[in-house]
Each structure stands twice: as structure tokens, then as C-alpha cells.
Structure 1
Amino acid sequence: MTRLISRLWPESIAAQLLLVMLTSLGMLVMLFFAAFRILQPGPPGEDAFAYGIKAAVLVAQMNETDSELRQALVADFASRNPDIHLRLMPAGSYVLKSRDDGSPRVPFWMPFRFSDFGQGLKALGLGPVELDEDGEERSNLVFELADGQQVFARMPPRREPPVWGNPLLQLIFFLVLSLVMLLIWGTRMLVLPLSQLASGVGSFGKTSMQAVPIAEHGPLEVRKAAHAFNRMQSRIQDLVERRTRMLAAISHDLRTPLTRLRLRTELMPDGDIKQRNLADLAIMEGQLDGALTYLSDGRTGELSVKIDVASFLQGIRDQYEDVGAELAIECEVGLSVLGRFSELTRAMTNLIDNARRYDDRIRLISSSVDDRVVIEVEDHGPGIPLQERERMLMPFERGDDARMLGTDSSFGFGLGLATACAIVEAHDGKLVLNDTEGGGLTVRIELAKA
């Protein structure tokens, strides 16, 4: 059965949606048809049916009794059958209603289908509605005896079933529940593969470039998209591995001649040319390290660990104090993030080194906003114009002369901010450049709380 359904089940999203809609429409049609059938006039219940039979038997006995004795017979019936309420009425008290074809209007649920069912006894149908002793409305089943006298048999009150016992409500509830379950099932069959595809696409590259194959199931279009994405993951992973090997080869090939040049330069006699050569070699090594770090997206293959923010910033301040630099720290206690320690350290040192070129008054501030940890590196240097900030996060972009007044500006390669931004984004974070109150630049880092 399952194989048959899988063969007949359409593959495309459009066909599956059409099938769900048609099935839902069919169930709605069934619902309204069933409601129409149930709402048609029907028998008032088994009690009324049994009452009609019993009343007809008693009236037949009265039809065979003399008119003088009928009242006594009614009293006797009442004493022996307390649930039967018969009344003798004069002839003509109730006029028989007829249909267009002249046939009597007798309720279809009555045990007799014709107005005259023998020995002159007639059933005139349901008579006038009256109020009983309790103030409830009661119908009267009217019979006419052979001599014209009429007998009113008061029908028992109709007892409505409880709300949940009403067959119409039960049917509506069942069909609505079935319809909702069908829609949920159909939607799940369509949406679940899309959700899994979206989840796989969203997670790829967030924490690792390792390919995580997505199950290829669901409608045809989703299967094609999942297959294409799995193929793309494999190709990207292959490109990343090739780039890593290429970067390692470039690093090795470039560092070897640079090392030989440095050794040769060290053997030169002291003088201005030697110092210039050593400075140029330092610049080349710095550019090489920065470029390789940025091209690797700040990734070192290190595992993520829980990092206490206050201890992390204190450790960075201690490192700078060892070289004679002073940093002010304002830390909120108890904050922690999940990240790769060496990469975040590199990002922070890049930002601090960049700020130190223009100002010695640097503050590190940590705080929490909702479910994010905010770390700010604040300086009071020249700052960066608003229209230039997006460009400054690009690699190899350097600021204008206002940001190049420091004595170490010659060592700026335009990779410090770009590398820090790449590392923060690799941690699913955000790096923003803001103005410092009173002038300067504040680099704001937002990371998820651990």
C-alpha cells in the first residue's frame, strides 16, 4: 500500500499543493452534504415513535367502545399508563391538513402511513401545539374515530441530546479535525524538506566549512535544490582545501627568501642602509602575515571554548602593560562567550594596535545587551568619517591623512580592521565602527553569550 501511494503521489510542489487543495475541497463538500442531510426533518426520536404506536393501539380500542364509556376508558388508560395523555375532543376540533395532491400530511415516522387505517379510524397528523403543566410546548397527535369524535394524544417533550451528543456537531467536529490533520500533514510534507534545506544552507560555513550533506527527499524541486547544494558544498570544500594548501606553499616559499635576506642584512655593517633594509623586511613580513591571516578568514582550526570576557580582556591588558602600554578596562562581571581563543586575541590586538597609532588613551569596555556580549575598543584619535567606515572594513584599505598621523603609520597595511571583522563574523558576530563621545573611534564587537 505504501509503495502504491508513493508511486501515485505527485512529485512537484504545484501538483502536491493542488492535491491537498482538492482533497480539502472534497472534504468540505462532504461536510456540507452531511450537514444538509442531518438537518432535514427527521423522526423526533425512539420515544416518540414508541409513543405513537402505543397511542394508536389505545385509540383503536376506544374506536370499538361506545362513546359513553370512552371517558372512563381514558381514565383507565391514564391510571395504567401514566406517560400517555389522551383527551377526547369534539368532532371538527382539528381539520386535517392535506398536501397538494390531496393526501394527508401524516408524519413519515408514524407507524401508520395512511389517514384511514381501518374501521373508520383516521390519523390526522400532528395537531396544535400547547403548553403543558411545566410550560413546555407539546405537539398533539390527532386521531379521528369512526363517529367523528377526535382524540388528542399529547406527545412527550423532545429531549435534545447533549452538545457533544448531537450527531451534526460530532460529524462537523470529526470532519474539521480530519481536514486540519490533512492540511497539517500536507503542509509538513511540503515544508519540512524546505526547512531542512534552509537549515543546512544557513549552518554551512557558520562554524565549519566541512560539508554536511542534506537529505534529498520531498517534492521534486526540493530534491533538485538539495542535490545542487550538496554538490556545491563539496566543490566549496574542495576549493577551500586547495586554497589552504596554496597558502601554506606561498607562506613557505616567501618566508624562506625573506629569512635569507634578513640573515644577509644582519651581516652587513651597521649603518643607515642596514636599518632601512631591516625596516623593509619587517614591512614585508607584516604584509605577508596580515594577508595570509585575512585570506584564511582568521581561522586557525582551533576548537571553540567558553571564554570569560573579563579574564580575557585582563590578559590582553597584561600583555600590553609588559611593553609599556596602558589600557583602561570597564568589565561587566559574569559575561562569557563561546569562541576560539587565539583568533579572538588576534582580533583584539589588531584593533588595539590600530587605535594605539593615533591615541594612547584606549579603553576596553564589556557589557551585555539582551543575549549578546558587547566589547568596545575606544580611542580619542582622529576618527573615521561616516561615509568611509564601510570601505575601511575592506582589505588593503587605508584611511586618509587624518588617520595617518602616528609615528607607526608606515606599518599600516589596511588589514587590521578587515582581519578583525573576518574573525568576528566567523564567530557569528558583528563588528561596527562608531564615533567616540568627545571625538575618536569606537570599534564595537557583538558576540553571542555562552
Structure 2
Amino acid sequence: MKGSKAGRHLRARDTIARWIALTTIVAMLTSLGFNALFTQLAGVWAYPPLTETGLLEKVSLLSKLIEASHVEQREHLAAAASDSNLNISWHASREELEVPTVPDAISRTTTPQVQRLFNAPKRRLEAYQPSEWPQQNGHYTLLVQLMDGSWLMFSLSSRSWGLGQWQRDLILVVLVLLSTGLVTLIATRRLARPLQQFAQGARRFGVDFRAPPIEPVGPQEIRQAILAFNAMQAQLQHFINDRTQMLAAISHDLRTPLTRMRLRGEFIEDLEQQQRLFRDVDEMQAMINTSLEFFRDDARLEQATPFDLAELLHTLIDDYRDQSIDITFSGPPHLVFFGRPLGLKRVITNLLDNATKYACDPAVELRGDDEQVTILVLDRGPGIPVENHEQVFAPFFRLETSRNKSTGGVGLGLSAARAIVLEQGGALTLNTRKTGGLEVRVVLPVLKGEAVGQRNN
């Protein structure tokens, strides 16, 4: 129980605002850390002060040893004490030294450590940087004056990768950008991954009504949004299931009295009145079936699956060709799409029925890429007035006002088609063709991870 409470407490503190603040603080601390590290490396390794080379104690000891020796032996002792890193030479006078003129050569040696090691200011000390030599020969030099007025020259080679000020500044800027970018990338991935999962789950529910709930992960705000979406999804699934059961009951209850009316009509002796009654019963039956089919629409509950959309269109066109209706097709021979094949079959069938019933020269075009799939149903005919392009999608709206089922339906075909397309995350629109006729455009999105693929025979 305590562990559960602690977990909830930690999740409550895991908020987007907290992540943004922590990202900013960590990025700043990382940048400062890189800055301090590079400054230390650049100061000690590229242009190290003499007090930080670690050789001052050695130089002080050698100076005292050479000074204590006889004058004639000092030159040989200095040469013997030299090595590959440190070169030592003894000079009887200052004039023998060929050193550059540097105003602060003496002031550099006035630190407490130097004065303690060399017993300054009784001794004169001068220090020179690699950049101060005429030929830029790259070595540090320390001059030590002995008590008798002679001089010792200590030369220390500088690091081969000594850097100038602008180079240091450039490296610092690059390090700051890299550190900030690295911390920001980690933090944004921590925030972006739950949002991507949330978006994919929402799109999946738009295509598949039976999609499972989304796992609540990420900061508190995102988890709360996912939980709210899961609750809404569960309510919609419960509502649609209840509606389906209710419509099934209504369908049964409505068909029963119609069946009784037809049976009673068999006893009417007037054949003309009997035929009129039968036509009314048939028309009412058709209207009820169409309306219930629209409101129930089992195709909307169909499981999404990969299928060949081009082959589906070819099959529909062949069915019309069997009825002596020629429909031209333009598009790839095969196009694999992730969606609901029965629902799309009903959409295209409704659109082709309108094109063949109210116009001529029907045609179908298919296009697809990584983002979306477009299906165009074209015809040449009177079309639909622009002011009615949206109105025709309203349930039970008909441009043809008669109720004769031989000239028109009950005004639910386009409504059902758009509803199926919208529930797959797409769009269905009407456009008037410049050459006359109507263009019905169906645009369906391609879900990420479910790529559209074209196959060639």
C-alpha cells in the first residue's frame, strides 16, 4: 500500500511544467560543466601558467643545486640536468640571453608560491609565453637570476595543440550547443513518445471501432488526457453497441406489421387497390430497410485490415460491366491499403450508382502516396448545383423530389458514404467539373506504420 501511494505521488509530480524546468536547469548545468572542463583543459594543457605546470618545485631545486656548485661546473651541471622536456642552460650575464622584450615578464612571477620557492624578491625572475617569441617557436621560458648575478634559463616545450582565443570561444560555443541539444533531445523524446502513442491510438480508434484502449504513459497531463480519451472511447463503444441492439429490435418490430398488412392485402378483391397497397408496403419496406441500414451500418464496425484497393475497384467495375455499364479506370494495377474493405466498397458502390443513374460516362481514378489515398468518381451530366454540394449530404435530402424508388432513393446514399469515409479519418467532397459533370473526391489518410504499397505484376 505504501509503495502504491509513493508511486502515485511520483506520477503526480511528473508534469510537463516540471520536465521543462528540469530540462532548462540540466541544460544550463551541463553547459557550465563543459565550459569549466574545457577552460581547465585549455588553461592547463594548451597555455598552462607556470604555477600549474608542476615543474616549479623541480626548477627551484635545480636552481639551488647549480647555485651551490662552483662557477666552472655550472654550465656542465645545467646540461646534465636537462632532459627531453626541460632544457637548462647557464649564462654568466644577462646580455648572453636572447629573449624578447615583454613588459610583464617579471610581474608573472610575483605569486606567493614563486616567491616562496625562489626566495624572491632577492632573486629576479622573468617568465615568457610561447606566443611572445619572434619565431613563435612554442616553448615556455623561465629566467632565474643567481646571487652572483649569473642566470639560469629553463625552457619547457608547449603542448602541440595550443589554441588561440577565437578557437577557444568557438569550441565553447560548440560544446554548449552540443550539451544543450543532447539534454533537450532526451527530454523532448521523453515528452514526445507518449504524445505519438496517444495520436496513433486516436487514429487507430478512428479506423477500428474495436481498437483497445491506449496505455496511459508519460507526464501527468498526457496521462490524464489519455485516460479521458479511453473513457470517451469506452462510452462510444457502449453507446454504439446499445444502439445496434435497439435498431435490431426496431427492425423486427417494424417488419412485423408490414408483413401483416401484406397478408391482409391478399384478401382484397379489388386487384387495383390490392396492387396499390402492395406498392405502398414495398416502398415502406424499402425505406425502413434503407434507414435501418444507414443508422445501424454494420460496415462501420468492420475490422480494419490491409487489402488491395485497386483490385477492389476493378471488381466493382467488372460487376457493372456485367450489367452492360462501361466504367473507365485510371490508376495503378495494385495498391495495398489499410482500412475497411466492405465499408469502402459500399461508398464506391453508392457513388457509382449515382453516376450511372443520373449521368453518363462514369469513370474512376485512383492515386496514392505515403500520406494519403485519393479516389475520384467522375461523370458527365447535369451535376449538382454548387449551393447544394453540402446540403446533399444531409440525411433524407433529395434533389429529385418524388418518392418513386425507380427514380431515386430515400436520400441516405451520400450521407452513408460520407459517414463511412469520415469514420476512417478521410473526407468526401463534391466538385463541379469544368467540362461538365460531377467529381466526387474521396481522400483517405495512410496511418503511420501502415504504408501504402504498389505491386507490379
**TM-score, length of structure 2 as denominator length:** 0.75
2:363 is aligned with 1:364:
yes
Which aligned pairs between 1:383-394 and structure 2 lie closer than 5 A? 383-394=383-394
Tell me whether 1:112 sits opposite 2:117 in the alignment: yes
**CA offsets per residue over residues 324-373 of structure 1, 9 Å max, x none?**
552322243223444444433332332233233323x2423233243454
Query: 1:147-194: per-residue Cα shift (whole Å, max 9, x none)?
Result: 3x231404122124589xx99999999887665554444334444333
TM-aligned CA deviation for residue 252 of structure 1: 0.9
Give CA-to-partner distance per residue, 1:397-437, whole Å, 9 cap, x none. 222xxx56998665331111111222233444432212235
In the alignment, the residues of structure 1 paired with residue 140 and residue 433 of structure 2 have an alpha-carbon distance, to the nearest angstrom, of 90
Inter-CA distance 228–316: structure 2 relative to 1 (3 Å threshold): closer
Distance 1:436 1:135, change over 3 A: closer
Counterpart contact for 1:375–1:444, Cα < 8 Å: yes
CA 1:56–1:309: 2 relative to 1, 3 Å: same
Q: Could you say which structure has the higher helix fraction? A: 2
Q: Do the aligned partners of 2:109 and 2:115 also contact (CA within 8 Å) in 1?
A: no
Q: Matches of 2:170 and 2:342 in 1, distance apart?
A: 67
Closer, same or farther: CA 13–240 of 1 in aligned 2, 3 Å: same
**Correspondence list, 1:103-252, <5 A:** 105=110, 108=113, 112-115=117-120, 122-126=123-127, 131=133, 136-147=137-148, 149-160=149-160, 180-208=181-209, 210=210, 212-252=212-252
Change (3 A) 1:300 1:255: farther
Native 8 Å contact 2:88 2:152 kept in 1: no
Query: What's the RMSD between the two structures over aligned residues?
Result: 4.4
Question: 1:35-114 maps to which residues of 2 (within 5 A)?
Answer: 39=43, 42-43=49-50, 46=53, 48-49=55-56, 52-53=59-60, 55-57=62-64, 59-61=66-68, 64-66=69-71, 69=72, 73-74=74-75, 77-78=78-79, 81=82, 83-90=87-94, 105=110, 108=113, 112-114=117-119
Distance 1:288 1:238 in 2: 24
Unaligned runs of 5+ in 2: 447-451
Provide the residue aligned with 2:449 in structure 1. none
For 2:117, give the aligned amino acid. F
Residue 416 (str. 1) matches residue 413 (str. 2): yes
Contact 1:140 1:155 in 2 (8 A): yes
Decide which structure has the larger Cα Rg and report it.
Answer: 1
Relative to structure 1, the CA distance from residue 439 to residue 96 in structure 2 (aligned partners, 3 Å threshold; closer, same or farther) is closer
TM-score by length of 1: 0.76
The answer to whether the 8 Å contact 2:208/2:301 transfers is no
1:261 Cα deviation after fit: 2.3
Total equivalences in the alignment: 426
**SS of 2:157 mapped into structure 1:** coil
Q: Distance in 2 between the 1:24 and 1:128 partners? A: 36
CA distance in 1, matches of 2:318, 2:262: 31
Shift of 1:90: 4.4
Q: Against the structure 1 CA distance between its residues 220 and 336, is the aligned structure 2 distance closer, same or farther, given a 3 Å change threshold? A: closer
In the superposition, relative to structure 1, how do residues 278 and 114 fare at CA in structure 2: closer, same or farther (>3 Å)? farther
Where structure 1 has 5 or more consecutive residues not aligned to the other structure, the ranges are none
**What CA distance in whole angstroms lies between the structure 2 residues aligned with 1:411 and 1:47?**
100
In 2, distance between residues paired with 1:127 and 1:238?
86
Q: CA deviation at 1:253?
A: 0.9
- Distance in 1, matches of 2:376 and 2:173, equals 61
How far apart are the structure 1 equivalents of 2:326 and 2:37?
80
Q: Could you tell me how far 1:440 is from its partner in structure 2? A: 1.7
Residue 277 of structure 2 corresponds to 277
Identity %: 29
